[in-house]
Amino acid sequence: MTQPFVRPDVRALLEQMEAAGGKRAVDVSLEEARGMLHASRHLFDAPTGELAVIRDLAGGPCPMRLYDAKGERGPGPCLVFYHGGGYVLGNIDTHEPLCAEIARLADLPVVSVGYRLAPEHPFPAGVEDAIAAARWVAGSPAELGREATGLVLAGDSAGGTFTIVTALALRNEPAEVPLLAQWPIYPAANPTRHHPSLDQFGEGFMLSRESMAWFDECYAPNKADWRYDPLLKDHVGMPPTLVVTAGLDPIRDQGRAYAAALAEAGVAVVYLECAGTIHGFMNLRKALPSVQGDLERCAKHLRVLLEDGQ
């Protein structure tokens, strides 16, 4: 069997982690797993850097933080971001460098959503927060300090799933402003189906099959609910979409399946598979210098989708 392409910086990181006896989320306590992800931000991700606005927002349905490269801006689109972490790990802080960089590259205000986590708050608490947060931003509340003329939804991993589910919810019951685009990044878009990438990359490529099972156990979803598996729904009428996957990701094929379903439904879709890299790479820009180019390509594709939709 042909060996998959692995980028040099990705190979170096995987070898470093193996040599260090890298523990997975499933190997430690919940508290330790959360602490590991928080520590990884400072070890492996780029610094947040300077930004005109980094401000916590009050008054919303859950904690949120605004990032903007401009201190003030006129009416325009606003990006709502949902962090990854298997519905169990992560928060606004773990994804701050990524959100700040998206705000710079896309020239959009970015609102990062701190939804409730499992197992303390199992399914569907987190996704209910995700939908409520998007509706709140769409209303341009005074706390936001910006007039949103439309929404862009984005998120990575579990947050990519929340992106898709929230987009479906807003398609079915529109918010106060239109949904302009969505950008799910390596989403778990079809978790009830077994895809080949799970067998190919389920061990040794950062996200493991065992950790995924542990996340699922904590999340305790209703697997017949479309808010867990959005491919149980039809996707006609969804907004222009940028689907991003990692070539060495056990859930890569779920993203492929989602992009195909959008195309079959007549939705404008760009599918970008980042070859030779691993799940979670967007939060590893310090350890993986190649990621910066991936993120810049994504921002360019997103801007084109928004321009085409106007």
What is the distance between the alpha carbons of residues 15 and 12, in angstroms, rounded to a whole number? 5
**HEC assignment per residue over 137-199:** HHCCCCCCCCCEEEEEEEEECHHHHHHHHHHHHHHHCCCCCCEEEEEEECCCCCCCCCCHHHH
Residue 110's φ and ψ, nearest 5 degrees, are -120, 125
Residue 196's nearest CA partner among 242, 253, 154 is 253
69 part of a folded domain: yes
State the CATH number of the domain containing residue 25. Answer: 3.40.50.1820
CA 166 from chain centre, in angstroms, equals 12
pLDDT, position 2: 82
Q: In the predicted model, what is the mean pLDDT of residues 287-303?
A: 98
Side-chain half-sphere exposure of 193, counting CA atoms within 13 A: 17
pLDDT digits (tens, 9 = 90+) for 94-140: 999 999 999 999 999 999 999 999 999 999 999 999 999 999 999 99
pLDDT of 310 above 70:
no
Confirm whether 62 is domain-assigned. Answer: yes
Please indicate, yes or no, if residue 77 is contained in any of the structural domains.
yes
Report how many domains make up the chain. 1
Residue 2 lies in a domain: no
**Residue 309 predicted with pLDDT over 90:** no
Structural domain boundaries, residue 41: 8-309
Tell me which residues are annotated as active site.
157, 249, 279
Q: Where are the alpha helices (DSSP H) in 25-157?
A: 30-44, 96-106, 125-138
Is residue 273 assigned to a domain? yes
The percent of residues in the chain predicted with pLDDT above 70, rounded, is: 99
> E strand or H helix at 219, and its extent?
helix 209-219
Query: In this structure, is residue 1 part of a structural domain?
Result: no
Confidence band of 288 (pLDDT split at 50, 70, 90): very high
For the chain, give the mean pLDDT: 96
